[in-house]
Chain A
């Protein structure tokens, strides 16, 4: 029962171009969506989030777009840099506060940025 789906296992882009990472979800109760980035042999680190009441959130080179009607979100990285090469996890949560809130993660997408 995958509530958060990242259907593309990998993406390769040229340095300087845009990277678009996609994520779909099934649970309409999710009210926050997050992206985490993971380098090999390290734990995931928080990258950016978006509330379900918004459709866009931007932080520097990273922008997350949310389409609630399609239950779809995407992470845009512009411009892509070789240091962005990592695994990106999409995650969602019901209730951002509360000790009993729990993140549901997708399988991750491996992004490779070619110099």
Chain B
């Protein structure tokens, strides 16, 4: 039973399209995150939510809009996709009392053509 699951695992799309990635965790954690791993392999935080409330919003274009319908789900919607959005997007979760120990999903590889 996967602890943090995200779908889809692969997306290939054209520039200008809109796409969504969904994430669910069954660990009972109260905090969820989106991280981006770009071509240079850095893992960088994009957003975090705690109990459905947006907490961290790094300098991310407005085309990226996270949504947390409940504390077990965090989705990422991307409008008007650009070539530079190509990356692996990782969802993660943790308890706020243990913010260093993240549980990651398998990642969603987005390729924008």
Partner of A107, one of B30, B40, B103, B105: B40
Chain B positions 63 through 88: 1 when the CB is less than 8 Å from some CB of chain A, otherwise 0:
00000000000000000000000000
Task: Given the known inter-chain contacts A44-B43, A105-B44, please indicate yes or no for A49 contacting B106, CB distance below 8 A.
Answer: no
Q: Are B99 and A99 in contact (CB under 8 A)?
A: yes
Task: Given the known inter-chain contacts A43-B92, A43-B107, please indicate yes or no for A96 contacting B50, CB distance below 8 A.
Answer: no
A65 CB within 8 Å of chain B: no
Q: Are A95 and B99 in contact (CB under 8 A)?
A: yes
Docked pose: A45 CA to B3 CA in angstroms: 12
Q: Are A107 and B99 in contact (CB under 8 A)?
A: no
Q: Are B106 and A102 in contact (CB under 8 A)?
A: no
Docked pose: A45 CA to B96 CA in angstroms: 18
Q: How far is the CB of A93 from chain B (nearest CB, A)?
A: 5
Task: Given the known inter-chain contacts A105-B42, A105-B44, A107-B41, please indicate yes or no for A97 contacting B97, CB distance below 8 A.
Answer: yes
Partner of A96, one of B43, B90, B98: B98
A69 CB within 8 Å of chain B: no
Docked pose: A36 CA to B101 CA in angstroms: 9
**Which residues from chain A sit less than 8 Å from chain B, CB to CB?**
32, 34, 36, 41-46, 49, 89, 91, 93, 95-103, 105-108
